[in-house]
Structure 1
Amino acid sequence: MLKELVVNCAPHETRVALLENGTIVEVFIEREDETSIAGNIYKGRVQRVLPGMQAAFVDIGFEQAAFIYVDDVLDTESHKMFTKFEQDQDLETDTDTEDEDGLSMDKQTWKPAPSSDNIIEDLLFEGQEILVQVSKSAIGSKGPRVTTHISLAGRYMVLMPTVDHIGISKRIETEAERTRLRELLLSIRENSFGYILRTQSLGVTADTIKKEMEFLTKTWEEIQNKNQITSAPSLVYKDLTVTFRAVRDLLANEADKLIIDSPVEYERVHQFLRKLLPDVNLSVVLYQGREPIFEAYNIEGDVARALKKKVWLKSGGYIVIEQTEALVAIDVNTGRYVGKHNFDETILKTNLEAVKEIAYQTRLRNIGGIIIIDFIDMKKESHKEKVMTLLNEAMKKDKSQTNILPLTELGLVQMTRKRTRRNLTRTLCEPCFYCNGTGHLLSKKSICHKIYRDLVSEAGDIMGNRFTVKVHPDIAQLLHGREKHLIAALETQFSKPIAIYPEPHYHLEEYHIFESLVK
C-alpha cells in the first residue's frame, strides 16, 4: 500500500493529509491563531482548588483555565511507592497512542496510582506555581487538561523525567528484541529518568538510542532552567509544529513519501531530518505544480465532503452522521438501494458497506467520545455476526483507542473512540449564525401563525388605528399570498388595517409589530 504525506503550507495555516493509495484517511490542521497547545509545557499558577472534584484550575496564560486532576499531580512519596511496585511487577506499558493532533506518538498511558492519602488539598494550594504539560487541548467549552507528569517524545523513545520506569512498545512483539532493547537502554542510562522505547526503535543501534537520549535530556535541562527564570503564567517549552510531528511520527513509519509545497519548509524538513535521522534516507519532494497541492491530489473535495452529514454509499444506501455535545449518532439507511435478491440480503449488504464507510469517516473526521451506530434491523443472527466481525476488523486500522460493545436487540452498537483533539467539523466550522447551531428554523407557515397570535395578544393594548408589521421578505410574500386569510381575519375582527412591510436585512424568524395613527 502506497502511503504519502501531502503538506500544504500557507500563511498562518498548515495542513497535512495522510493518503493511502491516493485516498485521504487522516487530515491534520494547525493555525497560528489557534494552534493546538497539546504537548506544550507551561509554568502555571493554581487558580482554584476544588476538593469536591479532587481537581484544580491552573492559569497557564489563556482565557480558559487549565484543569488538573489529583491523579495528574506529582507527589514524591506516592511516586516512589508506585515506581517500586512497577519494578517489582515488571508491568508493560501500552505506548502506541495518538497525540493531541492525531499523529502517532508513543507516550505513557498509565499514571501513578494515587495513594489513599493523596487529596488535592495536600498537593496544591491557590497561588502555587507548578510546571505542567498540556495532555489534551481545549475542546468546545472545556479548557485544556494538564499534568505534572512531563513526557518528551523523540522518534525512538519518550523521556519521562518525573518517573523511574523502563517500557517497551507492545507493538514490538518479538521477545528477543524486547529483551535486547531493555538491556540496551539500561546499559546506557546514566540517570533515574523513565524511558519508553517506541515502535520505531525496532532494530536500532545503541549509538542511535544514546544520541536521542542525550538530546532529550538536554531538552529537559533547558526546560528546567527556563522554569527557574520565568514567572507564571508563561510558556516554557513549545512542541513541534504539525509538519515536523508528521515527519517524526509518520514518515518512514506510516508513510513512504512526503510532498510539500513550500520551498522554505522543504529546506527546514531536510535540516530536521539531518538532525533527527542522519542515517536514514527518506523521500521528501518539493511540489512545484501550478495547481494548488490539495487540489492536485484531490484532497480539497474530500475534506469538503467530510463536513457533510449525509454520506452516500456505492450501492445507493447512505449514512447520516449527527454530532452533539455528548455523543455522535450514525444512522444507516438503504436509500436508493433496492437489492437484487431478497430483503434480508439487501439489508446485510447495506450494513456491511456502511461499516467500512463508518470506520473510514470516524478516522477522517476524527470523531471521538461516545458513538451510537443505528444499523438497519437484521433478523438473522449470522448476518449480525458478519456485521460485528467486520466492524471490529475495520476499526483495528484506527490508531485511536476504540471500544465496541455488542449489538443490542434494537440494532444499535455503542462504541467509544478516544477523543484527543477537536474533530474536523469543529476545527473548520462554527455554529450557524442563522439557526444558532440548532440546525432548524421555524417553518414560514409557523412564523405567519406566530405573528397572527402576537397581533391578537397585542391588539387590546394598541391605541392606534392601524397595525404595521415588518417581516422578512419571504414572510411578507406569504402573508400577501397563501396566508393572506390570517391578515384578512384580523382586519375584520379589530376593524383596523394591517400593513405588511418586507425588511431584507431581517432574520427569517424576526418581525416587529408597530401601532400608528392614520388621519
Structure 2
Amino acid sequence: MAKTIVVNSTPEETRMGIFEGKELIEISVERTKSGHHVGNIYKGKTKNVLPGMQAAFIDIGKEKNAFLYVGDELQANATPKNVDQTLTVGKEIMIQIVKDALGTKGPRATTNLTLPGRYVVFMPTVDYIAISRRIASEEERTRLKQLVEKVRPAGMGIIVRTMAEGKSEDDLHKDIEYLYNLWSALSARAKRAAAPILLYRDVDLIIRIVRDYLSEDVGEFVLDNREAYGRVRDLLQYTSPELMNKIRLYEGKEDIFSHYGLEAELEKVGQRCVWLKCGGYIVIDKTEALTVIDVNTGKFVGSTKLADTVFRTNLEAATEIAHQLRLRDIGGIIIVDFIDMDDEEHKQAVIEALEANFKRDRTKTNVLGFTELGLVEITRKKARQNLEGMLYSECPCCAGRGRVQSSETVVINIWRMMRKIMGEPRRQGKMVIQVHPLVAEMMKNQGELTRMEQELACSLRLESVPAMHPEVFSVLHENE
C-alpha cells in the first residue's frame, strides 16, 4: 500500500505525518528551540567516574552531562576501538548521543560512533558487517554483504539499511565514500579542538525524512514550505533522482495539517482512552518506569459466547496497541492487561497479532509473551522524548497525578484549620473563607458554613474565587 508523507514547516517547528492508505501510522514533531540531539557527536570531558557502575558523566557543554555506561560498550557485537575502561576525571573522549535527556535524566551516550547514510550506516570504531533484518531474502542479504566487503574501508564496520535492497555496488560505494570522508573530517577536527565541543550535528527532520523514509513504497511526499521543498529536490538530485517525481509543493490556502486531517489526530494523542471499532476500548497510562495499557470490552457484547467476544476484542486491541505505540512513539517497558482468556490458542493468536503489527514499526520492539499473572510484556526502544511529552506539560493543578483532592477533602481541611484558628486567643470579628467555586458550591449545598458558625461560635462569609487552585483555601479577617 502506497504511503503519503506530509510535512508542515514553520520557523518554530517541523511536523511530519505518514499515511499508509488512509491510516495515519506515524507523527513526528521537532521544535526549533529544543532541537534534536540524538546522533550528535561530541568531544567531551569526563567530569565524574563511577567505577562501581562502570559508568561516567561526560561534560558536552550542555546544561546536563551525558551519561556513558561502559558496560554497554563491552557488551556490543564487537569491541570498540575507542573504549577506554580507565576513564579518569578530566580525560577527553569522543561520544555520540543515543538517547535525549528525559525529565531529570541527562542524555545517554555511547562510544560506538555511527554515521547514517541513505543505504548504509558507517561505524568507524568497530569491524563487522550487519544487514537490516527487514531484508528477508537470504540471496539478497548475501549479495549485499559481498558488495560491502569489496567497498568498505579496512577495519571499519557497516550496517546495510533496508533502503539498500536491490541497489548496485556503485550506489553503496558512493554512500560509504561520503561517510568515510565525513568521518575523516570529524577525526581531524577532534584532534585539534578542545573539549567540550560539538563535532557533528545530525541533520534536521526534513533531511532525515528523505534519508530514512523516502523510498519506492512512498507514493507522494508533500511539503508546504518552498525553501524545504527546494532543499529536498537538491538532495534527491544528487542521491536518488528517480524519486524526484514523488515530491510535491502544497500551495493550498488551508493549513496542510488541517487539509490532511492531521490536526484532529494530534489532539487525540493526549487522550487516555482509545475506542476500538468493535465497541471495546484501551486505556493508556504512563508511569516513571513503564507504560500500562488496559483492554476492556466496553460497549461490545458480541453475538455468541463470552470467550469469542473477549477474543475478538483482544485481537482488535492488539492491532490498535501496536498502532498507538508507534503513533505516540512510546518506548521503554510496556505492560498490557488483555481481557482474561482461558484458551491457549487464543492467547497465542493475540501474541502473533502483536508481533505481526510490530513488523511495520521502524523502531525495534520485542513481545515477551504472557506472564504468570496474564499480562503481556513488551519492550520498545526509546531514544527521544515521545510525542505526548513534547506536546503536553505537567498539569499545574494536579502536578502530574491526574487528579486533585475532592471537594469533601478540602472542606474537611477547612474544618481542621478553623478549629485550630478558633482555639487561639483573641479571635474576634467576622472571617472570610475563600475557596474554589466547586468547594464553595458543596459548602453551600450541604450547609457547612452554618454548621461552622454554630459549632465555633463565629461569624463567617464564604467567597468563591475561580482563580484559586481546587485544593487551596484562605481564611482571612473581614478587615484584611
Which range, TM-score by smaller chain?
over 0.9
Q: How does 1:460-479 map to 2 (within 5 A)?
A: 460-466=423-429, 467-479=431-443
Distance (Å, rounded) in 1 between the aligned partners of 2:479 and 2:224: 68
Return the offset for 1:59: 1.1
Is structure 2 residue 469 aligned with structure 1 residue 507? yes
Q: What is residue 22 of structure 1 aligned with on the other side? A: 22
Q: Once the 2 structures are TM-superposed, how far is the Cα of residue 61 of structure 1 from its aligned partner?
A: 1.6
Contact map agreement 1:319 1:331 (CA 8 A) in 2: yes
Among residues 246, 267, 270, which one is paired with 2:233 in the alignment? 270
Cα 1:516–1:205 shift into 2, 3 Å: closer
Tell me the SS of whatever aligns to 2:317.
Answer: helix
Q: What value does the CA root-mean-square deviation take over the aligned residues?
A: 2.5
**More displaced, 56-65 or 193-202?**
193-202
Q: Deviations over 1:5-34 (max 9, x none)?
A: 111111120011111002210111111111
Task: Classify 1:190/1:372 alpha carbon distance in 2 versus 1 (closer, same or farther; 3 Å).
Answer: closer
Question: How far off its partner does 1:285 sit?
Answer: 0.7
Q: Per-residue deviation at 1:382?
A: 3.5
- Structure 1 residues 176 and 506: alpha-carbon distance in aligned structure 2, compared to 1, 3 A threshold: closer
* SS of alignment partner, residue 53 of structure 2: coil
CA shift at 1:196, angstroms?
2.4
User: What is the TM-score when the length of structure 1 is the normalising length?
Assistant: 0.86
User: Structure 2: how far apart are the matches of 1:291 and 1:257?
Assistant: 19
> Is the CA contact 2:78–2:128 (under 8 Å) kept in the aligned structure 1?
no
Structure 1 position 255 matched with structure 2 position 218: yes
Distance 1:454 1:190 in 2: 76
Q: Say whether 1:387 aligns with 2:345.
A: no
Alignment size in residue pairs: 479
The amino acid of 2:432's aligned partner reads: T
Q: CA deviation digits over 1:119-175, x for unaligned, max 9?
A: 84x1x1111222211111112222111122211111111211122323333443444
Q: Establish whether residue 368 from structure 1 lines up as the match of residue 339 from structure 2.
A: no
CA separation of 1:477/1:147 partners in 2, compared to 1, >3 Å: closer, same or farther?
same
Q: Tell me, in whole angstroms, the C-alpha distance in 2 between the residues paired with 1:158 and 1:31.
A: 25
Q: Which secondary structure state, in structure 2, belongs to the residue aligned with residue 398 of structure 1?
A: coil
Tell me which residue corresponds to 2:360. Answer: 397
Residue 254 of structure 1 and its aligned partner are, at CA, apart by: 5.4
* Partners of 2:80 and 2:126 within 8 A in 1: no
The aligned residue for residue 40 of structure 1 is 40
Q: Which residue of 2 aligns with 1:85?
A: none
TM-superposed CA distance for 1:502, in Å, is 2.6
Matches of 1:189 and 1:394 in 2, distance apart? 35
User: Counterpart in 2 of 1:127?
Assistant: 90
Change in CA separation of 1:455 and 1:160 when aligned onto 2, cut-off 3 Å: same
Correspondence for 1:490: 452
Question: Which residue of 1 is the match for residue 246 of structure 2?
Answer: 283
Q: Distance in 1 between matches of 2:9 and 2:328?
A: 21
User: 2:283 maps to which residue?
Assistant: 320
1:261–1:287 CA contact under 8 A, matched in 2: yes
Question: Cα gap change, 1:213/1:410 in structure 2, threshold over 3 Å: closer, same or farther?
Answer: closer
Which structure carries more relative contact order (alpha carbon 8 Å, separation 6+)?
Answer: 1
1:112 is matched with 79
Match status 1:7 vs 2:1: no
Q: CA deviation at 1:50?
A: 1.0
Structure-2 change in CA distance of 1:396 and 1:176 (3 Å): closer
- CA shift, 1:352, in A, is 1.7
Aligned to 1:50: 50
Following superposition, the deviation at residue 308 of structure 1 comes to 0.3
For structure 2, which runs of at least 5 residues remain unmatched after alignment? Answer: none
2:60–2:196 CA contact under 8 A, matched in 1:
yes
Per-residue CA shift, 1:88-125, capped at 9, x if unaligned?
xxxxxxxxxxxxxxxxxxxxx7352899xx984x1x11
Is 2:80–2:112's contact at 8 Å kept on the other side of the alignment? no
Once residues 140 and 56 of structure 2 are traced to their aligned partners in structure 1, the CA distance between those partners, rounded to angstroms, is 42
Taking the aligned partners of 1:505 and 1:174, their CA distance within structure 2 comes to 64
1:436-451 correspondence to structure 2 within 5 Å: 436-451=399-414
Provide the rounded CA distance (Å) in 2 between the counterparts of 1:376 and 1:179: 44
Aligned residues of 1:491 and 1:497 also touching (Cα < 8 A): yes
Deviation sequence 1:164-201 (CA, Å, 0-9, x none)? 32333344344444443333333334543222222222
- For the 8 Å contact 2:285–2:292, the answer to whether it is kept is yes
Letter in 2 for 1:244: I
CA apart distance, 1:471: 1.8
- Cα deviation 1:258-292 (Å, max 9, x = unaligned): 11111111011011112222465551111111111
Contact 1:72 1:111 in 2 (8 A): no
Relative to structure 1, the CA distance from residue 238 to residue 253 in structure 2 (aligned partners, 3 Å threshold; closer, same or farther) is farther
Q: Measure, in 1, the Cα distance between the counterparts of 2:135 and 2:260.
A: 34
Match in the other structure for 1:61: 61
Cα distance in 1, alignment partners of residues 425 and 229 from structure 2: 72
Give the residue type in structure 2 aligned to 1:142.
K
Please state whether the residue corresponding to 2:397 is helix, strand or coil.
coil
Name the SS of the counterpart of 1:256 in structure 2: strand
Counterparts in 2 of 1:253 and 1:461: CA distance versus 1, 3 Å = farther
Contact 1:22 1:297 in 2 (8 A): no
Aligned to 1:31: 31
Give the fraction of aligned pairs with identical amino acids, expressed as a percent: 40
Quote how far apart the aligned CAs of 1:41 are.
1.0
**Mapping 1:202-241, distance limit 5 Å:** 202-241=165-204
> What one-letter code is carried by the residue in structure 2 that aligns with 1:196?
I
The whole-number CA distance in structure 1 between the counterparts of 2:78 and 2:460 is 70
Contact 2:233-2:244 within 8 A present in 1 as well: no
Distance 1:113 1:446, change over 3 A: same
TM-score (norm 2): 0.93
Q: Distance in 1 between matches of 2:370 and 2:206?
A: 40
Query: What SS is found at the alignment partner of 1:384?
Result: helix
Cα deviation, residue 409, structure 1: 5.3
Q: Quote how far apart the aligned CAs of 1:47 are.
A: 1.1
Q: How many angstroms apart in 2 are the aligned matches of 1:52 and 1:177? A: 45
What SS class does the counterpart of residue 34 from structure 1 fall into? coil
